[in-house]
Amino acid sequence: MSLVSLRPDSIAALLEAPLAIVVPVYNESQTIQSVVGSWMQELDRQGVDYQFILLNDGSSDASLSVLKTISAEHPRRVVVVDKTNSGHGRTCRLGYDAAVAAPRVEWILQIDSDGQCDPAYFAEFWSRRTSADCIFGRRVRRDDGPARAFTSQLCRLGASLLSGCDLEDPNVPYRLIRREVLASALRRIPASFNIHNVALTFILRKTPGIRWARVPIRFLQRQGGQNSINLINVIHWGIDMLLELRRLR
């Protein structure tokens, strides 16, 4: 199923499986098909009932047509959303808003579309759900280079100083969250925020009574496409993140 609607409730109406997988997609035409394929293989092996929400974030390459092909091949497993570019955080937010509005969804998994999130860890995440509300990856090994690791450490330092506790890997894109817990956290995060995943980690960690689990993961190199790191973006995101977290305190 493919749609061109930005309303969370119209996306939610298409969600029927207990696991919704939120995947922001930006210029990933080279990678997205094999990434979704390898995830499907693992999810099917685990016997999990799932649906992908693949959100095309205004890609300028052929991502959208690849997404449409994937959804035509797997209509029961894939919902495609096409939107103008708003960045990783706001794109994830739209997926989260849709997933929490779907009554049959019990869990939301967020992963990236460039193949850095290895499906091999999924079984461990899934098994932890009986005793945790949030299961987050912690990138203990990174194949994407020291500049990436350094940026993540700066993010961790800034976010942890503002929250008063160690947020470990606040921006990690491998995260499984119980629907009710995500829904109540989102109510405390303005939709206009930019760095949503860090704000979400911050709020979830500060909410009493939430049961946490962390799964150590190796973060792979992106499987193709463009590496997006550039100093100007990183500075921009860092400033946004600090301003946004200050508002949440």
Ligand X SMILES: Nc1nc2c(ncn2[C@@H]2O[C@H](COP(=O)(O)OP(=O)(O)OP(=O)(O)O)[C@@H](O)[C@H]2O)c(=O)[nH]1
* For ligand X, the closer CB: 8 or 173: 173
54 contributes a contact to ligand X by CB under 6 A: no
| Contacts for 13 with CB less than 8 Å, ≥ 6 apart | 102
Q: Which two structure tokens, joined as six digits, stand for 70?
A: 């994937």
Work out whether 222 is an interface residue with ligand X (CB under 6 A). yes
d(CA 229, CA 225): 12
Q: How far is the CB of 56 from ligand X (least distance, A)?
A: 9
Report the residue from 19, 50, 101, 114 that binds ligand X according to the rule CB under 6 A.
114
Cα separations in angstroms, 124 against 52, 151, 180? 19, 27, 21
Among 85, 103, 211, 236, binds ligand X (CB under 6 A): 85
Q: Which of 133, 134, 151 is nearest to 142 (CA)?
A: 151
> Which of Mg ion, ligand X, none lies near 88, with the C-beta cut-off 5 to 8 A by kind?
ligand X
The least CB distance from residue 222 to Mg ion, in Å, is 5
Q: Which is nearer to ligand X, 41 or 85 (CB)?
A: 85
Binding residues (CB under 5 A) for Mg ion: these are 114, 116, 222
Q: If binding is defined by CB under 6 A, does position 118 make contact with ligand X?
A: no
65 contributes a contact to ligand X by CB under 6 A = no
Helix extents (H) in 174-230: 179-186, 196-206
- Asked if 124 contacts 215 with a C-beta cutoff of 8 angstroms, the reply is yes
Q: Which of 97, 92, 11, 10 is nearest to 51 (CA)?
A: 11
Find the shortest distance in angstroms from Cβ 8 to Mg ion. 25
Specify the amino acid at residue 26: Y
What's the closest the beta carbon of residue 18 comes to ligand X, in angstroms? 23
To the nearest whole angstrom, how small is the minimum distance from the Cβ of residue 235 to ligand X? 14
Give the number of other Cβ atoms within 10 Å of residue 125's Cβ: 20
- Compose the 2-41 pattern: x for residues touching ligand X by CB under 6 A, - for all others: ----------------------xxx-x-------------
Q: Kindly state the tokens that stand for 109.
A: 């998994």
Instruction: Give the binding range for ligand X (CB under 6 A) out of 13-21, 74-82, 208-216, 227-235.
Output: 227-235
Q: Which of 149, 165, 229, 239 is close enough to bind ligand X by CB under 6 A?
A: 229
**Interaction partner, residue 65 (Mg ion, ligand X, none; CB < 5-8 Å by kind):** none
Please return the burial class of 210, using the count of CB atoms within 10 Å of its CB with bins 0-12, 13-18 and 19+.
middle
**Rule CB under 6 A: which of 181-220 touch ligand X?**
none
Tokens at residue 164, please? 């008063």
CA distance 172 to 189: 18
CA distance 174 to 151: 17
Residues near ligand X (CB under 6 A) are 24-26, 28, 57, 85, 87-88, 91, 112-114, 116, 144, 148, 222, 227-229
